[in-house]
Structure 1
């Protein structure tokens, strides 16, 4: 075992200019640090098995969870149970950085969901 950081973790791109780093990638637990530039968002979706915890490191994330909007600032976190539709956005003017902790891993367990009423 060794310490890890975004400097040596597996990097990937997603969405429109968003970054992700696999800090821990096992079948039963995933820890990813993500960066979203201003104006970026992910597709609304849910996971059939994985539960997730989003924890904001810097900036402010807007997370829609089952039709309710949550504004998460540095030091805030939110649990997302399996089968609950959600979408994260960066509506701010600065990058947002956050951790996504999933158990079991969420990769391969993603189902597209329609937009929530009034969402864009």
Structure 2
């Protein structure tokens, strides 16, 4: 039988100098990560050649730009990002943002930075 997993026992990593991530499932074909972004944090705009991703907000409000459109996602809302779509997550609120990132296949090693001014 498999053991349950949470942020208390999952593999932890830091990204962007101030953000946290926990690998809840780290398979080559499927990745499930919980992440935390403090207020004012932002990731670099990027795309994935193969991975499709689904971002789902647990707490806070995410500002997610995808394909030139900016979305404001509240707790209980999510957004699918198809492969090849440039995107960037930001926390413009005054509280921590917690969200899930589900990727198929895994997105690590499949990331290409995109200039902020590149038009889709």
TM-score, normalised on structure 1?
0.96
Call closer, same or farther: CA 1:70–1:116 in 2, change over 3 Å.
farther
d(CA) in 2 for partners of 1:8, 1:16: 21
Q: Which residue of 2 aligns with 1:80?
A: 81
d(CA) in 2 for partners of 1:16, 1:75: 27
What are the residue-to-residue correspondences of 1:96-107 with 2, within 5 Å?
96-107=97-108
Call closer, same or farther: CA 1:116–1:55 in 2, change over 3 Å.
farther
Unaligned runs of 5+ in 1: none
Q: Which residue of 2 aligns with 1:42?
A: 43
Count of aligned residue pairs for this structure pair: 117
Matched, 1:109 2:110: yes
d(CA) in 2 for partners of 1:43, 1:116: 12
d(CA) in 2 for partners of 1:39, 1:66: 22
Query: Could you list the runs of 4 or more consecutive aligned residues of structure 1 that deviate by over 4 angstroms after TM superposition?
Result: none
d(CA) in 2 for partners of 1:114, 1:53: 22
TM-score, normalised on structure 2?
0.96
Q: Which residue of 1 aligns with 2:29?
A: 28
